[in-house]
Amino acid sequence: MVARHQELSDSALLKRLVEFMLQSASAAELGTPGGADRTSRDSRLTVRIRPDDQMLLRERAAARGMAPATYVSVLTRSHLRSLAPLPKAEWLTLERIVTELSKLGRNINQIARAANRGERVTDSGSNQFRAMLTICEALRVNTKELLQTNAESWQQGYEDPQ
């Protein structure tokens, strides 16, 4: 009943009670009100949100593969520092793109070295070069769209379902 009155779950109320008892014990041992470890205590923040907002929070955090508390922390930091955070899945996609671009760069260098040595670049080499340029352009466009979508989704609070 006390938990419900404070809009907390039973476990959240129990956690608060345990934290309060630990703080009281450490303050009594140290002889200082509030305890010596005030900095770490101030790094935690308790926020009450409505049940319907809590549901949206869980859904959006899950869509980004994050715990709800981590999602709120990232959003807060993003807002305070004007950042556009990149979730892990999108970061991994960008890493794969960089890997593919590196492979293409090595192939282009091999073709360029052969041409610089005066070797004849065959039609298949020219076709490979054109194919690599096409892939590079597609990767550039996709990467640009990924970054733009990411920035917009953090600003609006919604992830693009596509």
Backbone φ/ψ region at 46: left (φ over 0), alpha (ψ -120 to 50), beta: beta
Looking at the structure, tell me whether residues 99 and 60 fall in a common domain.
no
Q: What is the pLDDT of residue 143?
A: 83
What's the rounded Cα separation, in Å, for the pair 157 and 10?
30
Counted domains in the chain: 3
Looking at the structure, tell me whether residues 77 and 148 fall in a common domain.
no
Q: Is 36 helix (H, G, I), strand (E, B) or coil?
A: coil
Range of the domain at 34: 1-46
Looking at the structure, tell me whether residues 90 and 157 fall in a common domain.
yes
Looking at the structure, tell me whether residues 90 and 156 fall in a common domain.
yes
Q: What is the pLDDT of residue 90?
A: 76
Instruction: Give pTM, 2 decimals.
Output: 0.43
Q: What is the pLDDT of residue 13?
A: 60
Looking at the structure, tell me whether residues 68 and 39 fall in a common domain.
no
Looking at the structure, tell me whether residues 114 and 146 fall in a common domain.
yes
Q: Kindly tell me the number of DSSP H helices and DSSP E strands found in the chain.
A: 7, 0
Looking at the structure, tell me whether residues 124 and 154 fall in a common domain.
yes
What's the rounded Cα separation, in Å, for the pair 155 and 17?
37
Q: What is the pLDDT of residue 158?
A: 47
Q: What is the pLDDT of residue 50?
A: 92
Looking at the structure, tell me whether residues 89 and 162 fall in a common domain.
yes
Contact (CB, 8 A) for 107 and 113: no
Looking at the structure, tell me whether residues 131 and 157 fall in a common domain.
yes
48 CB-near residues (< 8 Å, 6+ apart): 7
Looking at the structure, tell me whether residues 146 and 99 fall in a common domain.
yes
Looking at the structure, tell me whether residues 35 and 55 fall in a common domain.
no
pLDDT per residue, tens digit, the chain (162 aa), is 666 667 777 777 667 766 666 666 655 555 555 555 555 656 778 888 999 989 988 888 887 778 899 888 888 887 788 776 777 777 788 888 888 888 888 888 888 888 888 888 777 667 877 788 888 888 888 888 887 777 776 665 444 455
Looking at the structure, tell me whether residues 38 and 53 fall in a common domain.
no
